[in-house]
Amino acid sequence: VLQLPGSVLIVPQATLGGKPKGKGMQYHGNIGKDEGLKGLSAFPSLLVRLLMRRIKGSPNEEDTCSSPSRDDHVPVYTLVLVLVLSVCTRFYKITEPPHVCWDETHFGKMGSYYINRTFFFDVHPPLGKMLIGLAGYLTGYDGTFPFIKPGDKYEHHNYWGMRAFCAALGSCLPPFACLIVLELSHSTPAALIAASLLIFDTGCITLSQYILLDPILMCFIMGSVLCMVRFNTHRLRPFSFSWWFWLLLTGVCLSGSLGVKFVGLFVILLVGINTVFDLWRLLGDLSLSLLDFGKHLLARVFGLIMLPLFLYTTIFAVHFIVLNRSGPGDGFFSSAFQSRLIGNNLHNASIPEYLAYGSVITVKNLRIAGGYLHSHWHLYPEGVGAHQQQVTAYLHKDYNNLWLIHTAQESITPVPFLSSAHLIFFIRTTRNLHSHFHEAPLTKKHLQVTGYGINGSGDVNDLWQVEVCGGKKGDPVKVLRSKVRFLHRSTGCVLGSSGKTLPKWGWEQVEVTCSPYVKETPNTQWNIEDHINPKLPNISLSVLKPTFLEILWESHIVMIRGNSGLKPKDNEMNSKPWHWPINYQGLRFSGVNETEYRVYLLGNPVIWWLNLLSLALFVLMLTVASLAKQRGVKMEGMRKVHCHTLMEGGGMLLLGWLLHYLPFYIMGRILYYHHYFPAMLFSSIFYLFHPLSYGMRGPLAQDPASSMAGLKWMESWEF
């Protein structure tokens, strides 16, 4: 062992040229730098240079930011302590309250649907709900609890397994944060501080204790970041087992993030930016041949693009296989999609393939929740357009959805099939589908659609021209598969569903209008679902079933439209993105008055405000460090290490925070406080606020006897 100033070196004893004092003994001694190097004359010059760099830094090394020496050893017991604290804080009072809280009414119900194999619709990809259903199934839940509304008692139903699964994934966040910060900063205290912030944050605890998608999503997001930084540390050992392991595991976590919520796209973008910079660095390495660079590129394409896409597609394949029975989600999808669901009236049905005059049909709108074209005996009230029979869109199958197709021509050709450009009447309850120059009930720039006439007799405002979308004049109309539009002959408008709900006089059904905007949109596109015509031969609908890729594409179109259609209802609280970092207002999970078990989602204000202060301080420090580097200021020792950590590790976390926060400013859908938590993970303790984590009973916060007395620091906090 050679103890040099600032380092210890173990070398073979023969290198020193001395005689061993005994078998197995080595030369020991404290020597100066010059004396030590005299004894190392047999060492390669490279080793000498490495020694010189270890002692005082290479004379050729730049005096600006460079990679720090690693000091990232964390004792196993420390990580175990972090994990134990995380598990304890998440599983404490996991069964409280014993009733449905907030969005458990949605995601618990969807878990039940998977157990019962009943098809449903949700605006998020299926992985999170599948895992919740699997957790419930494995822990004895039978899928019979209805999850009707928040506050419903679970009673004898075994709900704890689904909550425990979400809590288990939520418990992974602090250890993941610890390891991420450790890799980026090589500082054990920094890693433990980051873990502590998440362990003791009241918001993270609350969000992890209920049947929600958020802990599942955040676990995959943090897992993706951890795998990414671990992969980066293996860049000097390309194509080794550990290098491939972390690369592929990053891809797996990315597919999981996107498979739970589309918010997972943000962490995919973060990993993508990191990969682009990594490849750009490799391209500038002249010691690397273009062939080797191509291998690096293909490896990343496989691990970070092809593998996640395959796994993401597999998630949907399992989703479609499991949910094979008709359920409440049928109406959101096309008729062709519904034909594959057991129990749907289209499943294995036989109907005529092509539409003809004299057929009785149902017509389904292609927008989300557009409904079936529908009419009933009720009239529009006085003051709402013409006082004629109502025409609406109804979301459920009903006898009043049936329409008779009647020709507008004097005679019918020998082949009575209906085709594009033909003029027709729609007849329902003896009245014709009709439009005129009266305003629609809700969409004032559109025209009213009514039922008019008697026994098929009416006027010229009853004529509609058929148009097959993407087709040409003369193309036949095919059930299930053809997308058609109906253009009003007199006014030139096009029949559509606005998606707006009518008042009680319209039985809260969906408004149907005639739109003057003739551009093709799902609102004005329809397809033929049921088809009755005894004069035509029937075919089995099984031959018209869509392929896997078609239903995969349709599912994403429906989810995207559903997401964009999530608008705040009247008097509904709509959180703003600027509220979130300052912890302006939380989210009520359960209970209102002092006799109820109250759960209120609110981040620990001390932690969140310190996080916000730290973000501002980081930007300031990053600016100073960048200016210093640009001006060539010499940095030595720990300054150099801190500079590297600040610009690379801290910069990556800042980018992660920005990617998971800023996009919400341009989203048109309704937003909630919990949407900020993935961003909060990137920006990150106190016992006073512990009742927020596990719920409260007794007096409200304004009562001196309350457990939260004196802690309502902002009027907007509703606990």
Q: Name every residue whose Cβ is closer than 8 Å to that of residue 135 and which is 6 or more positions away in sequence.
A: 111, 161, 162, 164, 165
Cβ 699 vs Cβ 706: under 8 Å:
yes
Residue 319: its pLDDT value, please?
Answer: 97
How high is the pLDDT of residue 252?
98
Q: For residues 195 and 244, what is the distance between their CA atoms, to the nearest angstrom?
A: 27
CB 160 within 8 A of CB 140: no
| pLDDT value of residue 436 | 94
Burial call 92-106: b when 16+ CB within 10 Å, e when fewer: eeeeebebbbbbbbb
Rounded Cα gap, residues 452 and 460, in angstroms: 11
| Predicted pLDDT at 657 | 93
Q: Tell me how far apart the alpha carbons of residues 132 and 116 are, in angstroms, rounded to a whole number.
A: 13
Supply the pTM of this predicted model: 0.80
Q: Is the dihedral of CA 42, 47, 52, 55 positive or negative?
A: negative
Rounded to whole angstroms, the Cα distance separating 607 from 593 reads: 28
Q: Please name every residue paired with 350 in a beta bridge, in sequence order, or none if there are none.
A: 540
Residues 429, 400 contacting (CB under 8 angstroms): yes
Amino acid 570: pLDDT: 58
Identify the pLDDT of residue 48: 39
Place of tokens 């036949």: 476
- How is residue 10 written in tokens? 């173990």
CB 474 within 8 A of CB 450: no
Count helices and strands (H / E) in the chain: 21, 19
Residue 444 structure tokens: 């004032």
Contact criterion met (CB below 8 Å) for 190 and 584: no
Nearest to 51 by CA among 2, 86, 12: 2
What is the sign of the dihedral through the CA atoms of 708, 172, 251 and 232? positive
Q: Are 678 and 263 in contact (CB under 8 A)?
A: yes
The CA distance from 466 to 544, in Å, is 22
Is the preceding omega at residue 97 within 30 degrees of 0, hence cis?
A: yes
Q: Which residues contact 283 (CB under 8 A, 6 or more apart)?
A: 293
DSSP codes, 192-210? HHHHHHHHS-HHHHHHHSS
pLDDT attached to residue 145: 96
Strand pairing report for 29-30 and 2-4: parallel
In contact, 88 and 80? CB cutoff 8 Å = no
Other C-beta atoms closer than 10 Å to the C-beta of 407 total: 17
**Are 702 and 717 in contact, with CB atoms under 8 Å apart?**
no
- Closest to 253 measured CA to CA, from 195, 311, 209: 311
408-432 confidence digits (pLDDT tens): 654 445 447 777 767 777 777 688 9
Q: Where in the chain is the domain with CATH 2.80.10.50?
A: 343-535
Spatial separation of the C-alpha atoms in residues 468 and 550, rounded to whole Å: 19
Helix, strand, coil: what percent of the chain each, to 5? 45, 15, 40
For helices 241-260 and 264-283, the axis angle rounded to 10 degrees is: 150
**Phi, psi for residue 40 in degrees, rounded to 5:** -110, 25
Domain range 343-535, CATH architecture: Trefoil (2.80)
The 10 Å Cβ neighbour count of residue 569 is: 8
The single-letter DSSP state of residue 371 is -
* Low pLDDT (below 50) residues in the chain: 1-70, 410-412, 414-415, 685, 687-688
Closest CA to 449 of 497, 518, 481, 403: 497
Between CA 644 and CA 626 the distance in angstroms is 11
**Per-residue pLDDT, 408:** 64
Instruction: Look up residue 492 and give its amino acid.
Output: G
Q: What is the pLDDT of residue 67?
A: 45
* Burial readout 24-35 (b: 16 or more C-beta within 10 A, e: otherwise): eeebeeeeeeee
